[in-house]
Structures are given as C-alpha cells and as structure tokens.
C-alpha cells in the first residue's frame, strides 16, 4: 500500500527524512484502510507491500503510532526550548496540504521541483535555530 504513495517524489523525500520504517508505515496505512472501510485486518493483509501475519501487522502498526507520538513530543519540546520556532510548526499543515493536493493533481516538473525545494527548506529550518 505504501509503495503506491512513494511513487510521488515529494512523498518519498519526506518519508526518507522521517523516522518511519517502511513496514511500520505500510502496516499503519493498511490498518487505517481496514478501519475506514469496515473491514477486518485479515481481509486486507494482502494489501501490504510485503506479506505479514496479522500479529506482525499489529506490532508494526503499533510501532508506527509510537513514532508519531514521539515525533509530536519532540516537536513540542524543541519549540518550548527555543530550538525551533512556531513558523516551522505553522508550516506543517500547509506542507501536508500541498502534499495531499499533489496526490490528486500531479504537478508539472517545475511545480514538483519547487515543492521538493519547499519541503527541503522547511525540514532544514526545523533543525536549525
């Protein structure tokens, strides 16, 4: 399931800079898909990029949720200690929206390059102060 999203260069760039492991994010996406569509996890196991048991999928999805929790806590701590600023935090929803829109409307090469530059700039700024 994740392989399809990673065909987008912008998504791939952000994924590579994240703390997610491929299997973790794939498992979480499959679980969310199952929940959103009222399906049992067993019914969607085949949607994973690599086959896994139901137990392995559960463990991997749980690890992905911990990555999200720790990332949020890290960001809150970094802002509160002055290690990064609110402008970085405020840019996250805008960046997520741009990424979401790029899935629906494929950007032309110039737009894609500009988007990748924006992503790099925001991620770089987040780690500087």
Pick left, alpha or beta for residue 112 (phi over 0 → left; psi -120 to 50 → alpha; otherwise beta): alpha
- What integer is the mean pLDDT of 89-111? 75
Question: Which residue carries 């987040």 as its tokens?
Answer: 126
Confidence (pTM):
0.80
Average pLDDT over residues 12-33: 92
The more confidently predicted of residues 126 and 1 is: 1
Is residue 75 predicted with pLDDT exceeding 90? no
pLDDT band at 107 (very low <50, low <70, confident <90, very high): low
Q: Specify whether the CB–CB gap between 98 and 4 falls below 8 A.
A: no
Task: Inform me whether the pLDDT recorded for 108 exceeds 80.
Answer: no
The SS3 assignment for 40 reads coil
Close Cβ partners of 18 (under 8 Å, ≥ 6 residues apart): 25, 67, 71
φ and ψ at 40, to 5 degrees? -80, 150
pLDDT band of 69, cuts 50, 70, 90: very high
Mean pLDDT of 85-93: 81
Distance CA 112, CA 110 (A): 5
DSSP 18: S
């Amino acid at each position: 399931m994740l392989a399809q999203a990673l065909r987008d260069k912008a998504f791939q760039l952000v994924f590579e800079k994240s703390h997610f492991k491929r299997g973790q994010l794939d498992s979480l996406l499959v679980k969310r898909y199952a929940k959103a569509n009222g399906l049992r996890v067993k019914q969607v196991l085949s949607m994973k990029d690599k086959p896994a048991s139901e137990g392995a999928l559960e463990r991997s999805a749980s690890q992905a949720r911990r990555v999200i929790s720790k990332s949020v806590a890290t960001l809150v701590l970094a802002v509160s200690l002055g290690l990064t600023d609110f402008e970085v935090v405020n840019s996250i929803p805008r960046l997520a929206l741009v990424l979401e829109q790029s899935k629906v409307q494929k950007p032309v090469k110039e737009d894609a390059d500009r988007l990748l530059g924006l992503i790099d700039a925001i991620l770089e700024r987040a780690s500087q102060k």
